[in-house]
Amino acid sequence: MKFHFGSRKKENTENISDALVSTIAGSWYPDDPQKLRAMIDEKLKNAGGAGANKVPNLLILPHAGYDYSLATAMYGIKTVVNAPYKRVIVMAPGHRAWVDNQFVVPESTAVTTPLGKIEVDLAAIERLRSRFSVVESDTVHRSEHAAQIQYPLLQYALKDFKIVPIIFSRIDSAFVNDAVAALRGIIDGETLIVISSDFTHFGRDFDFTGMYGDVRREVEALDMGAFEYIKQLDKDGFDRYIAGHHATICGATRCLSFCITKQARTAAKIIRVLSAIWPPPVTSTGAPKKTRSS
């Protein structure tokens, strides 16, 4: 796997293009734009209840195939429809590439979905690079569903925005201050942060089966227990909860734990945001045909 260090540099190769084309359209969600938009329309209408009192600037959204995750995702998306955000930072855990203490961004200058093209915020990425280690890899982003699954939802909800897609594996404590300072440098009043995380993965495929009663309610209780620590921005309590329950929340010790560190919550000023997130009723996930969610 090839990474680029230092200032941004495009290479003339067949694997790098100006726009990174979705590799999950047609499997994780429809590749027909009309069917995709209709699918999102329907789930938005079904996401009942009132939205957040304040428009949040941070959402935790699932990343399974839309057949399994879209109904839950729309509880968050409905709170930001037509919000005046000009930049979206998508933070996703790496499933197929393990890169510690670095942010992986695309080499391409845009991403595309059946709903069109989204420009990558190159200026924001350069500011990130000035404070923290940033590497570029279309290979990593092409193979990572956790970031790609969010793009059509953002296109549906927002207008005239750019994205900063970030994939990372783990940020050790010695690097947290630098990572947070880098993120703080690109977060302003027109920035939305999306953390991509599937909550409990239940079943033999995920080596997590120890529930024998009402599994659906037990999974919901497990997820909401973790969510309480997130709302309280209690990183230590969250980490203990995950370890003590052997919870299979995707990105728990990476994206979620990092984003509720003391440094991160102070820098990003996200206390009102996390408390404003609409908690999904059930966050268990499954896998789309011909692929699996994790």
Domain span holding position 43: 19-276
Residues contacting residue 243 through CB under 8 Å, at least 6 positions apart? none
Unique residue bearing structure tokens 């529930």: 211
Q: Which range has the worst mean pLDDT, 53-62, 101-110, 206-215, 264-273?
A: 264-273
pTM comes to 0.76
Confidence at 57, pLDDT banded by 50, 70, 90: confident
Q: Over the stretch 78-108, which tens digit does the pLDDT of each residue have?
A: 889 999 999 999 988 866 666 778 899 999 9
**Per-residue model confidence (pLDDT) at position 212:** 64
CATH number at residue 79: 3.40.830.10
CB 101 within 8 A of CB 133: yes
- Torsion angle of C-alpha atoms 184, 190, 196, 198, degrees rounded to 10: 120
d(CA 123, CA 199): 32
Residue 290 lies in a domain: no
How far the first Cα of the chain sits from its last, in Å, is: 22
In a domain, 197, yes or no: yes
Q: Which residues pair with 20 in a beta bridge?
A: 111
Q: 199 falls in which pLDDT band (50, 70, 90)?
A: low
pLDDT, tens digit, 9 for 90 and up, residues 120-170: 999 999 999 999 999 999 999 888 888 999 999 999 999 999 999 998 877
Question: How many domains does the structure of the chain reveal?
Answer: 1
Asked if 61 and 153 touch (Cβ cutoff 8 Å), the reply is yes
Between CA 115 and CA 47, with CA 35 as vertex, the angle to 5 degrees is 90
- Look at residue 236 and tell me if it is in a domain: yes
Where is pLDDT greater, at 128 or 238? 128
